Amino acid sequence: MTQMAKSHQSEVYARVRVVQVNPKKQAAPYAFEAKTLMIDYTTPDFETSALITIDTQRDTLDGQPLEIPGTSAAVPNIVSLLEAYRARRLPIVHVVRIYRNDGSNVDLCRRSAVEEGAQILAEGSLGCELVEDILPAGAKLLDVDGLLAGQLQTIGENEVVLYKPRWGAFYGTSLQAHLDRHNVTSLVFSGCNYPNCPRTSIYQASERDYRVALADDAISGLYAQGVAELKGIGIQLMSTVQIVRAVLDA
């Protein structure tokens, strides 16, 4: 590497990395060593990030009607993430599901059960409320009518609740507009039941070119193949401790 190249690399070390191509693997008849500077497009910028919690609602906890194994265990780490984001006054969005008692807004796979009386994430019930431990001080109960009408509910400084009508947090919601107003470039996901709503929301965020991290110990339902697939699309898998440090140091 020439002195000029070393100098350039030093200036942009935070954004690029050097990839050395093995000359033995070159298909061309003239083998040579190529060194390429690649811009890092996927590492989150925590200074312009927002924290997303997905479906961390009371009905999903251990022993509740829509129990999702692992959600109760993930709550303390979700709380740690929230504390870091609140300390830095960075945006927080709690994304929730709320089912009307007549089943009219329920996904097709659960609609019959709700129509027949299943009480899961039911409007006006304590079960659809956010888990108590993740609420900021002084937060009120969910404004069900406003949320179902597509409004954001503010529950703290830079902290809102958003209702999503289906699996993905961007589908039929104002999430992207809200993030744009806060100049968010990067998202950190946590919450309930990775295979359904978190997975869909993460892929939606990726296709909108957000830099995305998943707190892999603050989510329920994560599995090995899902981890491999996330890495394949540039999602950063990080622990709660790593994310908290990055946020507080940003």
CA atoms of 249 and 231, how far apart (whole Å)? 24
Helix, strand or coil, per DSSP, at residue 176? helix
Q: Is 86 found in the same domain as 11?
A: no
Q: Count structural domains, the chain.
A: 2
- Flag whether pLDDT at 29 surpasses 90: no
Q: Could you read off the pLDDT of 141-190 as tens digits, one per residue?
A: 999 999 999 999 999 999 999 999 999 999 999 999 999 999 999 999 99
Q: Is 161 found in the same domain as 74?
A: yes
What CATH number has the domain bearing residue 80? 3.40.50.850
Q: Is 125 found in the same domain as 19?
A: no
User: How high is the pLDDT of residue 98?
Assistant: 98
Q: Identify the domain containing residue 137 by its residue range.
A: 46-249
How far from the centroid of its chain's Cα atoms is residue 175's Cα?
12
- Flag whether pLDDT at 15 surpasses 50: no
Q: Is 197 found in the same domain as 158?
A: yes
End-to-end CA distance of the chain: 32
Q: Is 136 found in the same domain as 26?
A: no
CA atoms of 65 and 59, how far apart (whole Å)? 6
Average pLDDT over residues 51-70: 98
Average pLDDT over residues 223-240: 97
User: How high is the pLDDT of residue 186?
Assistant: 98
CB-CB neighbours of 143 under 10 Å: 16
User: How high is the pLDDT of residue 35?
Assistant: 59
- The pTM (predicted TM-score) of the whole model is 0.85
Provide the mean pLDDT of the chain.
89
Q: Is 177 found in the same domain as 105?
A: yes
pLDDT band (50, 70, 90) for residue 6: very low
Average pLDDT over residues 5-24: 39
Q: Is 180 found in the same domain as 113?
A: yes
Of the candidates 220, 95, 68, the one whose C-alpha atom is nearest the C-alpha of residue 169 is 95
Q: Is 224 found in the same domain as 149?
A: yes
Both structure tokens of 163: 């209702």
- Flag whether pLDDT at 27 surpasses 90: no
How far from the centroid of its chain's Cα atoms is residue 22's Cα?
37
pLDDT band (50, 70, 90) for residue 85: very high
Instruction: Judge contact between 55 and 123, C-beta under 8 A.
Output: no
Q: Is 206 found in the same domain as 106?
A: yes
CA atoms of 245 and 210, how far apart (whole Å)? 20
Query: How many Cα neighbours within 13 Å face the side chain of 218?
Result: 29
Instruction: Judge contact between 53 and 187, C-beta under 8 A.
Output: no
User: How high is the pLDDT of residue 39?
Assistant: 87
- Flag whether pLDDT at 38 surpasses 50: yes
CA atoms of 90 and 82, how far apart (whole Å)? 10
User: How high is the pLDDT of residue 36?
Assistant: 66
Q: Is 121 found in the same domain as 83?
A: yes
Torsion sign, CA atoms 143, 119, 220, 164: negative
**Cβ-proximal residues to 234 (8 Å cutoff; 6+ apart), any chain:** 41, 42, 206, 212
Q: Is 53 found in the same domain as 31?
A: no
Q: Is 70 found in the same domain as 29?
A: no
User: How high is the pLDDT of residue 9?
Assistant: 39
Higher pLDDT, 29 or 69: 69
Average pLDDT over residues 110-130: 96
Most distant CA pair in the chain, distance? 73
